[in-house]
Amino acid sequence: MTSKESGIVSGKTPSEAGVELEAERGGISRRGFIGASVAGGASTVLPAVAFGVENSVTETSRPASTPPDAKKMAREVGSSSPPEPLATVRRAASDLMVQVLRDLEIEYVALNPGSSFEGLQESLINYGERPNHMPEVISAMHEGAAVDMAHGYGRSEGKPMCALLQGTVGLQNASMAIYQAYHGHTPMIILAGNDENNFLKVHTGEDIAGLVRPYTKWDAQPKTLEDTLVALQEAYRQSITPPCAPTLVVLNSEIQKEEAGDLQVPRYSAPVVRSIGKSQATIIAKALLQAKNPHISVGRLRSQAGIDHAVTLAELVGASVDSMATFGPMSFPQRHPLVGVGQDKNYDFHLGLEIAAADVSITGPHLKSITDRDAAGIGFGWKENPNLKRRPIPDTLIAEDAEASLPLIINAIESQLTASLNSVIVERIEKHSEKNRSARINSLHKAIEKKRPGWHGTPVSLARMYAELWPMIKDLDWCLASPSNFTGRHHRELWDHDKPYSYLGQYPAAALGYCLGASAGAALAARSRDRIVINIQGDGDFNFMPGTVWSAVHHQLPMLTIMHNNRAWHMELMYVQYMAGVRGRGTDRAHIGTTFRDPYINYAKLAEGYGMKSEGPISDPDEMVAALQRGVDAVKRGEPYLIDVLTQPR
């Protein structure tokens, strides 16, 4: 069977047109996709095949969208009724799909109901001895919110959950959220229903995955039940194999409704994550042990186990450490004695773990090809500094997974340690610890003095909000799920981050509307783990998808939402004021199109309307303190809570 006959669809760039590559099991082919961004090229780690769509589109060949006929429209807008059953299905095909997800330990499937996956949805809620469990259906009010939930969960736990979407229109609704998850390197499985008989037929009907192919790692559109089961397993395997990213399986609605007969679920094979070799580990270990001032930069690691290994490595050699996972989850305990600003920066050996700018860097593979000059930037730094794009790739850039490589380096170090070396390392650790402790205390004093002038001010100081909240949560297992770039990032100075989910990072691709859904996804992960989630929520971001408040209440998520209610899109307001000023027009009308006025929005009332316990708006900081404690107490009981706080702009 050819890849086209099997129905598995794999993407390619125009430059890869006509290349035929091998297919796996019954014609199922893989698209190992490193960095096929809309504007960027791609190289592959897994085979890529043509997916049967013309690569050049001229004006004469450009496909046109056709409107639905009356029957199709009725099916989509809620004016049709289910047909008379032709036969009873004894063993539903979609039951086997659910069994695959269950075997893979997928905890949740977030969805907004749609006609193209009703077979699968029925199986999710009814199949098995414990229906609606592993995975549990999570109701989302918008497809983008479903993907954002999967994003927050994936960032928190380092493993995928599913977002189940309605074919073409669902993928279009969710496309921005998928794009953000892709650039956030987040594992996630997207399932898109496709009803070829009833769906609104547009030119993408034969290849709806093409809508999001530039920012998914792998996709498939199987034409048989057997291929569907294999594709679900492969989607999981691809999603968790570095570089982690969203994957997509298009599920034919008729296959979901088939009789499965005696077909069995195929055996799943876990991915093999590539690490450095023993000889490379020995060289790195020797360099770390011989250095008088070794240093380790830690980028984004994938799990708690990876972080624990990074800590072990640093302590074994007494290396100073910095964590540079600015846009993603925390990757090294922030208050560890070897981390701080009091370091002697004259390093004689610098090891990078998922960081490229070091003497030796274990960095890959990445979504952008390691041969791309952009890969030499630090994290997202190349976007901020175009000059970094021209930095040559060092010969010591190792395209293997850093987390998988750490145990080999640790073993090599332990085999080379001597008593004399160990005494030097102990002394070095004490020196680093004292310097970092002093620097930390001085930095904290400076931060407090800087923030003190607005302590009693109204609207409420954001620094005070963070400062007052910290003693209430510091002894709990907590997760700050919301990006903090709009709220001053005061947690970096005032809070202690020591777990991979302590802070889930910034917007990976600047897609607003992400915060509430991602926090709900993190709260899904927290719900069964005796953890609480803090969401300091921007007001502009909230208004993209406020329906997620209902999802949080409906599923009893331990999420405390504190509104950063400055009643404006404040950055845009500043820029309009600037433009008006430089043009000499005055700033009295800069509020037009940039503020929430006439009327002001009462977020506590909005939350109450969705069923969430809430209070506010609060402008007195002393009243805020008592409200914060009530909110923390509520989420400790597993009840979501919202506090509307009128805040300073930044």
Q: What is the pLDDT of residue 68?
A: 65
Position 385, amino acid: N
Render pLDDT for 82-92 as a digit per residue (tens, 0 to 9). 777 667 889 99
Mean pLDDT of 249-271: 95
Q: Are residues 341 and 420 in the same domain?
A: yes
Residue that wins the pLDDT comparison between 568 and 17: 568
Mean pLDDT of the chain: 83
Same domain, 526 and 558: yes
Between CA 626 and CA 602 the distance in angstroms is 19
578: domain CATH number?
Answer: 3.40.50.970
C-alpha closest to that of 645 among 606, 595, 602? 602
CB 306 within 8 A of CB 392: no
Check residues 519 and 68 and name the one with the higher pLDDT: 519
Region 335-354: mean pLDDT is 87
Domain stops at, among 256, 290, 311: 256
Helix (H) or strand (E) run with residue 436 in it: helix 419-451
**Taking Cα atoms as reference points, which of 356, 355, 358 lies closest to residue 287?**
358
Mean pLDDT of 472-485: 95
User: For position 6, what pLDDT does the model report?
Assistant: 42
The structure tokens listed for 617 are 């708006």
Residue 128 forms part of a structural domain: yes
Among 256, 286, 313, residue at a domain's last position: 256
Rounded distance between C-alpha atoms, residue 592 and residue 518, angstroms: 30
**CATH code for the domain in which residue 345 is found:** 3.40.50.1220
Is the pLDDT at 52 greater than 50? The verdict is no
The answer to whether the beta carbons of residues 216 and 180 sit under 8 Å apart is no
Residues 498 and 635 in one domain: yes
- Kindly report which listed range (7-16, 80-89, 170-179, 340-349) carries the lowest average pLDDT score: 7-16
Residue 376, C-beta contacts closer than 8 angstroms, at least 6 positions apart:
356, 357, 382, 388, 389, 391, 392, 393, 394, 397
User: What is residue 355's predicted lDDT score, i.e. its pLDDT?
Assistant: 87
Taking a C-beta distance cutoff of 8 angstroms, is the pair 333, 308 a contact?
A: no
The answer to the question of residue 118 being in a domain is yes
Q: pLDDT tens-digit profile of 637-648?
A: 999 999 999 999
306 and 388 in a single domain? The answer is: yes
Asked if the model's pLDDT at residue 121 lies above 50, the reply is yes
* Secondary structure (DSSP) of 355-404: -SSSSEEE----SS-TTSGGGGSSTTHHHH-GGGGGSPPPTTEE-S-HHH
Beta strand ranges found along 363-509 (DSSP E): 397-398, 478-480
Residues 330 and 388 reside in one and the same domain: yes
Domain assignment of residue 31, yes or no: yes
Domain span including residue 479: 455-646
pLDDT at 426 over 90: yes
Say which residue, 347 or 326, is predicted with more confidence: 347
Strand pairing partners for 614? 642
Residue with tokens 């750490």: 406
Q: What is the pTM of this model?
A: 0.84
More confident call, 44 vs 109:
109
Q: Has residue 33 been placed in a domain?
A: yes
How many domains does one find in the chain?
3
Residues 238 and 349 in one domain: no
Range from 342-351, 401-410, 602-611 carrying the lowest mean pLDDT: 342-351
- pLDDT attached to residue 405: 96
Give residue 474's pLDDT: 96
Identify the pLDDT of residue 386. 35
Residue 19, pLDDT > 60, answer: no
Residue 262 lies in a domain: no
User: Which pLDDT does position 373 carry in this prediction?
Assistant: 30
Query: How confident is the model at residue 327, as a pLDDT?
Result: 57
**Final residue of a domain: which of 436, 463, 493?**
436
96 shares a domain with 26: yes
| 7 burial type by CB count under 10 A (0-12 exposed, 13-18 middle, 19+ buried) | buried
Strands 136-139 and 613-618, sheet pairing: unpaired
Question: Of 32-41, 139-148, 258-267, which range is least confident?
Answer: 32-41
- Please tell me whether residues 287 and 237 are part of one structural domain: no
Query: Is residue 212 located within the same domain as residue 297?
Result: no
- Tell me: do 134 and 39 sit in the same domain: yes
Rounded CA-CA distance 124/22 in Å is 34
Residue 580 DSSP SS3: helix
Torsion of CA 434, 439, 441, 446, to 10 degrees: 170
pLDDT at 451: 66
- pLDDT at res. 11: 41
pLDDT digits (tens, 9 = 90+) for 150-170: 999 999 999 999 999 998 889
268 close to 106: Cβ distance less than 8 angstroms: no
The answer to whether position 80 is within a domain reads no
- 126 in a structural domain: yes
Q: What pLDDT does residue 277 have?
A: 94
Task: Identify the pLDDT of residue 492.
Answer: 84
Mean pLDDT, residues 282-311: 93
pLDDT score recorded for residue 26:
39
- Count other C-beta atoms under 10 Å from residue 637's C-beta: 9
Name the residue with higher pLDDT: 62 or 214.
Answer: 214
**Residue 628, in any domain of the structure:** yes
Whether 30 shows a pLDDT value over 60: the answer reads no
Say if residue 215 is in the same domain as residue 283: no
Residues near 187 by beta carbon (within 8 Å), at least 6 away in sequence: 154, 158, 159, 160, 239, 240, 244, 245, 246
DSSP-based helix, strand, coil % in the chain, nearest 5: 40, 15, 45
Return the higher-pLDDT residue of 349 and 344. 349
Question: Taking 50 as the threshold, does the pLDDT of residue 190 lie above it?
Answer: yes
Per the model's pLDDT, the better-predicted residue between 424 and 62 turns out to be: 424
Indicate whether 233 and 284 sit together in one domain.
no
| DSSP letter (8 states) at residue 92 | B
